[in-house]
Structure formats: structure tokens, C-alpha cells
Amino acid sequence: MMELPFKIDLKGQTAVVTGGSGVIGGMFARALGLCGASVAVLGRNMTNAEEVASEIREAGGDAQAFACDVLDKESILACRQAVLDKWGHINILLNVAGGAVKSAQIPQDQFADCAGDMLNFFTVDMDNIRRELDLNLYGTLLPTQIFGEVMVNQANANIVNISSMGAYAPLTRIPGYSGAKAAITNFTEWAANYFAKSGIRVNAIAPGFFQTAQNHALQFNEDGTPTERSRNIIRATPMGRYGEPEELLGALLFLVNPRGSAFVTGAVVPVDGGFHCFLGV
């Protein structure tokens, strides 16, 4: 099990983590488990979700995997009922399910011409862009609507969404993903206001660039040298390096801590080595 940057006390609280079967969601679920929360690890891939839940239990925590598709209202409602049947209440919701859809990526940074059969903005299938918008935006709004309904006036009720650097200014090649994440930042602020008097805080984390298995092909050529995109990312990151996924944990623990951030809502915390505030000159 991993090391936490610091521990907080979440005993007696139930946390629901969408995308808990993924890299960041799994790590967040383990972290909340180590802090004493009962953790509902949600995933479409039950094998991975089960693995995360059993690791939490082996470390002495309380967790269970639940099947949940964040785009399917019935699936979320059934999951909510199952979580309430097990623990009786929900305090924390982490909306982590999401990501870029490969077939919605436009391979060039800038348009040059329409020659050849290379995919470009004029030929990309808008259905793929729509799937990306749905997964990231609707996949955050719908769980917030369904789980949020039973979080009103619960102790330490709070929601953490995952935005991205693409929310500050669009990243090249991924217009759908960048637009969806900008909308998540906007929704985080909207919901913070909407729920402010009902006891639910709503914040977000905006991760910068991390070296993870699923980013490997974008970051490194087959011979192990960094891609041009990778060099651009490092150049645009004042700290001059990729982040380690564990470096997201401090922001998460701060935002869900009833003692640390009780007056913080509508905040989007960048964890990015300075990327969001550097224009290159």
C-alpha cells in the first residue's frame, strides 16, 4: 500500500469514487481508505475495482467494489442504493471517471492542408467528440445529481471533480476533452454556489502532466526518447518535469478534510508544476 503525504481522519464517512478502477481513481480510493473512510470503489471494470477494494481491506480499511457506468442513470441509481444499503449514508463523492477518447484526437497541432488521408478537424467523426464530451462532462454531472441528492446536509459533505490543464487554455489535438474539462471547471463553480447552504462543498483538482502507463505512447517514442509533444510539455512546465501521480494526493486530502478546508468551495487546485501560469516567456 502507498505512503500518504499526511493523514486525515475520515472515520465514519462514506466515500464514493467513480473511475475507482482506474489509475488516479484507484489511488484516491486507497488514500481515503487509509484515512479511515468506508470506500465504494466504482468501476465498469469490476476486476480492477475489486482489486482496489481488496487492497484497502487488506490494509485494514473498509471498502467494496460496485458496478457503475457514469453515463447510465439506472446504473448510478442502483449503485447509490447498494452503497446506502451497505453504509447508510454518503459524505464524499470523487468524480474521477473520464479521460480523452483516442478516436476523438486530431493528430496535428495545427492545420496545414487537407492533402492525404490523415485525420484532421474536417474529417474527425463528431460522434467520437460527442462521446468524449459525454464521458467527461455528463459523466460528472449525472453522478453529482444522483449521489449529491443524498449528500445534502451530511457531515463533511463534499465533492471533488477532476478538471485538467485543458480547462485553462485548450490543449492541442484534443478539442473535445479540453472543452469538456473547461465545462467541469465551470460546473464546479456553479455547483459550489448552488450547494453552499446545503452543506455540500464542491471543488476540483486540475492535474498537469503525469508520467503514467496510459500516457506513455504520447510521451515517448518506441526507442525511449521523448516525443516532440513531451519536450513541449516539459518546456511549458516551469518545474521542468512530469509529476508523479502520488503528488495529487496532498490536494485531495486537503479538499476532503473537514478540518482543513471547511471554508473552501468552488476552488480548482492546479497540481501541475506551474504549467497553468506560464505563457512560455
Taking CB atoms, the residue at the shortest distance from ligand NAD is: 22
Written as one letter, the residue type at 161 is: N
Binding span for ligand NAD by CB under 6 A among 1-9, 37-45, 117-125, 191-199: 37-45
Joined together, the cell numbers standing for residue 210 give 503525469
10 or 233, CB closer to ligand NAD? 233
Contacting ligand NAD (CB under 6 A), which of 135, 171, 204, 249? 135
Q: Which residues inside 61-80 make contact with ligand NAD, applying CB under 6 A?
A: 68-71
Binding span for ligand NAD by CB under 6 A among 40-48, 149-157, 190-198, 251-259: 40-48
Q: Which residues inside 228-257 make contact with ligand NAD, applying CB under 6 A?
A: none
Following DSSP, what letter does each residue of 181-241 receive, concatenated? HHHHHHHHHHHHHHHGGGT-EEEEEEE--B--GGGHHHHB-TTSPBPHHHHHHHHT-TT-S
Q: Which residues inside 3-32 make contact with ligand NAD, applying CB under 6 A?
A: 18-19, 21-25
* Catalytic choice (168, 177, 194, 242): 177
User: What phi, psi does 260 have (nearest 5°)?
Assistant: -85, -35
Contacting ligand NAD (CB under 6 A), which of 96, 157, 167, 233? 96
Strand, coil or helix: 162: strand
CA distances, 108 to each of 112, 116, 124, 173, 189 (Å):
9, 13, 12, 6, 32
Widest pairwise Cα distance in the chain:
61
61 or 98, CB closer to ligand NAD? 98
Q: How far apart are CA 159 and CA 145, in angstroms?
A: 11
Q: How far apart are CA 252 and CA 203, in angstroms?
A: 10
Binding to ligand NAD by residue 128, rule CB under 6 A? no
Q: Which residues inside 153-172 make contact with ligand NAD, applying CB under 6 A?
A: 162, 164
Q: How far apart are CA 190 and CA 194, in angstroms?
A: 6
Cβ atoms of 165 and 272 within 8 Å: the answer is yes
Q: How many CB atoms lie within 10 A of CB 48?
A: 18
In the complex, minimum distance from the CB of residue 208 to ligand NAD, in angstroms, rounded to a whole number? 7
Number of residues that bind ligand NAD (CB under 6 A): 27
Q: Which residues inside 196-215 make contact with ligand NAD, applying CB under 6 A?
A: 207, 210, 212, 214-215
Q: Mark whether 168 is an active-site residue.
A: no
In the complex, minimum distance from the CB of residue 216 to ligand NAD, in angstroms, rounded to a whole number? 11
- Kindly list the residues in this chain that would bind ligand NAD in the complex (CB under 6 A): 18-19, 21-25, 43-45, 68-71, 96-99, 135, 139, 162, 164, 207, 210, 212, 214-215
Q: Catalytic amino acids?
A: 177
